[in-house]
Structure 1
Amino acid sequence: MKYLTVTGTLLDEDYAFLRGGLLEQLDTLDLRDAEIDTIPDYAFGKRIVSTGAICLILPKNIEYVGKEVWSAFEFCNLIVTGNYPCFEASSNVCYDYNVHIEASDENKYCTNIIQEDEEHNPYLSVYSKNEEELYFINTASRGRIFKVKEGTRWIHPNAFKGITFEHQFTLVLPSSIDSIGDCAFMYTGLIFPTSFSTDYNFPFSDYCDGRIICESKEPPLLGKDVFEKSIFFSNSCLYVPKESLERYRNTPGWNSAQEIRTIEGMGDSSVPGNKMATRLNVQTNGENYRISSSCELHSLSCYDVYGHLLSIQTGKRHSFTIRRDDISIPYIIIRARFVDGTNETVKLIP
């Protein structure tokens, strides 16, 4: 095991030295006692420098962790030893399964809570010591339903910023939640399956790509840009108590959800039919793709493999055209929305 402990501070040339080959040899980089309150953007590089995992122990005085700090590693087990810092996220790279964040055993400010998903797989979340503020949920277990612990009052700023969720990921917010911090869901992505995915309707047949179940009768207060450029939120259905439906529909921020429904009616679908039966026809003449349907289309949205929106075409019609030269490698994801409110998804290669 190759373990490096750093005390004092790290200068730009020190980070450059680490990127120059030392990181590839380490199992653990211990910054616990380093005099560092900020780790700069891209401190460890913009590409994977290690073929294995690394344990990164953060300084006790850390306040800010810059963009893509752990994207340089194939997998990063990140240990918080002091106050939970602000984690920045890039607008064009979502992180999802290459980081696990937890609090150290001796942490005076944060604690680890272990819960189970719908398949009884354990997942760890980081909360404040009094368990009233959620900092982070490790969703890398690829479960579909994750619950914020009852009694939680706040969601930390940037808590989910930049995370990519599984298709039909469900996040449950308990009735105790009363506020969500700045940028908490900014840049969150969503993995879209093709029309032929075998689990497309899991776990509900309500035609939603994602779900947020908010059990609070009063819409929680939102900070700045909570759902800004969030593919996950813009493609999710929001489920709320029946008595609170109109409150959420009239509350800025919350009312930007794709659709707001009642918890009591969860799983019900107003659109009959088999979602698996594709209504799309994809043709190419070499230079262009033509996506058409006998059913009227409302819009066509294009996403990259990280779930970022690339472009959108709107206008009620029966066909749309996409230039093959505009398609990025390895493929893009096309989400067709029909005027009846249903969606279908296909992949297009360059």
Structure 2
Amino acid sequence: MKRNVEQKQTAMKRILLPALFIMAMLCRLQAQNTETHVTVHAGENALETLLTEEQKQSLKHLTVTGTLLDEDYAFLRGGLLELLDTLDLRDAEIDTIPAGALGAMELYLVLPKMIECIGDYAFKGVCEVTGNFPFLGICEYENTKPKFIITQNHPELFYVQNETTSLICSKDKETVFYFTYKAPMFADKELVIPDGTKIIGSSAYRGEHLYLENNIVLPKSLDSVGSYAFSNIFPEIKTEYAINKMYPNGCEYNIGSVICEAKTPPAFAKIGDGNFIGDFCNLYVPEESIEKYKTANGWKRFRDIKSLERLKGSSVSFSSAKSCVIISELPESYIMEFPRRVKDMALFDIQGRKFLCCSAIDVKFSIKKNLLLLPYTIAHIKYADGTNETVKLIP
């Protein structure tokens, strides 16, 4: 009898101990989650006072409702952003993110539903649009423009992405709010605004790289261009010509091409200071409309305005230029021999995000494969003479 009781007690221990262990682990995980995922209502009290000391050391995902004060942005810049994977302002009562608010720290930011404006150089990284698409201020440097994305269930906006282009537009596809190259180093045709587009929204291409050898094509349906849509541009020269184009390039060294198929010049809003796209590009329009464009606001700022029909008839061949750098592969590294002095070389992943920059490079340079990212790394070389070259490196 006694032996049976002992056996039952042993069996109960075998059942209870794992159960107690699991409960303890769940409690521990819940406690950890409390420290890493935090939601606060800010505005009445400073954000810093709403977080415990433990949360300030371990926080990964911060959700804010209410609003943020100037001192809250300063607190975030002061070190908290370095800990965060996500700052979620979806339900915050914020319509403007002030200039310089979140500094240069890379972050994933969920924008407020009521957002209207992002101030000059407010932040960098990826931002998810949850409401109307905001007006974007100046990006202080060429690599500080946020990358905009939307979720598939967004009620008002539609996301289009193909091999070369990322584009955010209205559900009826009549307004384009944002467009950029998905992978600019390997864009193999023009950046084309879709047929049926009537409006290019304010700041749509503001602060983007302009690859002068690639065309930007605007459709005949276009009737207006918003403020600063093509302002504060960063021009860049590539040594490899784009191929598979609808139109040939304008054939002038270091001069880009914008093609506008609309016979009536679309209304052009404010341009502002800074680099305007027309400072670096020729404009090609229907021949019958050239004189109209030469006197139209905004369009008359282009370097030259020429006939689209003559551009179509160009017989110049635009085959891809061969790489000038010689690359030798070793088991664990690549040896790169450059034809002339290199200013710097930047490495990008396939989404176009820079993760390494090398300067003061010798004519012969070795790079280890374990530094490269899968499936391949894009190496963008800037030579001291102002020319550029792009190559692909496989780990």
What code does the residue aligned with 2:258 have? I
Instruction: Note if contact 1:60-1:81 (Cα within 8 Å) is conserved in structure 2.
Output: yes
Instruction: Note if contact 1:31-1:56 (Cα within 8 Å) is conserved in structure 2.
Output: yes
Residues in 2 aligned to 1:231 and 1:179: alpha-carbon distance in whole angstroms: 17
Query: 1:141 maps to what in 2?
Result: 183
Asked whether 1:254 is paired with 2:299, we answer yes
Alignment root-mean-square deviation, CA: 3.0
Query: 1:67 maps to what in 2?
Result: 120
Residues in 1 aligned to 2:92 and 2:214: alpha-carbon distance in whole angstroms: 38
How many residue pairs are counted as aligned between the two chains? 258
Q: What is the deviation of 1:122?
A: 4.4
**Where do 1:76-225 residues align within 5 Å?**
76-90=125-139, 93-95=141-143, 99-114=146-161, 116=162, 121-142=163-184, 143=187, 145-192=190-237, 197=239, 199=240, 204=249, 206-207=251-252, 209-225=255-271
Instruction: Note if contact 2:267-2:297 (Cα within 8 Å) is conserved in structure 1.
Output: no
Instruction: Note if contact 1:81-1:106 (Cα within 8 Å) is conserved in structure 2.
Output: no
CA displacement 1:232-280 (0-9 Å, x = unmatched):
3211011111222222223242122112222222277799xxxx9xxxx
Q: What is the deviation of 1:126?
A: 0.8
Residues in 2 aligned to 1:130 and 1:269: alpha-carbon distance in whole angstroms: 35
Asked whether 1:13 is paired with 2:66, we answer no
Query: 2:39 maps to what in 1?
Result: none
Residues in 2 aligned to 1:346 and 1:22: alpha-carbon distance in whole angstroms: 42
**Where do 1:224-239 residues align within 5 Å?**
224-225=270-271, 228-239=273-284
What code does the residue aligned with 1:94 have? E
Structure 1: any 5+ residue segments left out of the alignment? Answer: 277-304, 306-328, 331-344
Asked whether 1:26 is paired with 2:97, we answer no
CA displacement 1:77-121 (0-9 Å, x = unmatched):
21110011111114x53347x63212233322222123x3xxxx1
Match of 1:6, SS?
strand
Identical aligned pairs, as a percentage? 36
Structure of higher CA gyration radius: 2
* TM value normalised by structure 2: 0.59
What code does the residue aligned with 2:141 have? V
Q: Relative to 1, partners in 2 of residues 1:62 and 1:252: Cα closer, same or farther, differing over 3 Å?
A: closer
Match of 1:111, SS?
strand
Q: Give the helix-richer structure, 1 or 2.
A: 2
Residues in 1 aligned to 2:193 and 2:87: alpha-carbon distance in whole angstroms: 30
Which of structures 1 and 2 has the larger relative contact order (alpha carbons within 8 angstroms, sep 6+)?
Answer: 1
Match of 1:22, SS?
helix
Instruction: Note if contact 1:95-1:164 (Cα within 8 Å) is conserved in structure 2.
Output: no
Instruction: Note if contact 1:207-1:269 (Cα within 8 Å) is conserved in structure 2.
Output: no
Match of 1:169, SS?
coil
Residues in 1 aligned to 2:177 and 2:250: alpha-carbon distance in whole angstroms: 31
Query: 2:109 maps to what in 1?
Result: 56
Instruction: Note if contact 1:134-1:156 (Cα within 8 Å) is conserved in structure 2.
Output: yes
Residues in 1 aligned to 2:118 and 2:315: alpha-carbon distance in whole angstroms: 45
Residues in 2 aligned to 1:99 and 1:34: alpha-carbon distance in whole angstroms: 20
Instruction: Note if contact 1:206-1:268 (Cα within 8 Å) is conserved in structure 2.
Output: no
Q: What is the deviation of 1:224?
A: 2.2
Query: 1:335 maps to what in 2?
Result: none
Match of 1:248, SS?
helix
Instruction: Note if contact 1:215-1:240 (Cα within 8 Å) is conserved in structure 2.
Output: yes
The structure 2 residue matched to 1:4, chosen from 54, 62, 68, is 62
CA displacement 1:54-87 (0-9 Å, x = unmatched):
321100011111111233xxxx221110011111
Residues in 2 aligned to 1:252 and 1:85: alpha-carbon distance in whole angstroms: 24
What code does the residue aligned with 1:10 have? L
Residues in 1 aligned to 2:142 and 2:95: alpha-carbon distance in whole angstroms: 24
Instruction: Note if contact 1:94-1:187 (Cα within 8 Å) is conserved in structure 2.
Output: no
Q: What is the deviation of 1:221?
A: 1.0
Residues in 1 aligned to 2:261 and 2:143: alpha-carbon distance in whole angstroms: 28
Q: Relative to 1, partners in 2 of residues 1:32 and 1:152: Cα closer, same or farther, differing over 3 Å?
A: same
Q: Give the strand-richer structure, 1 or 2.
A: 1
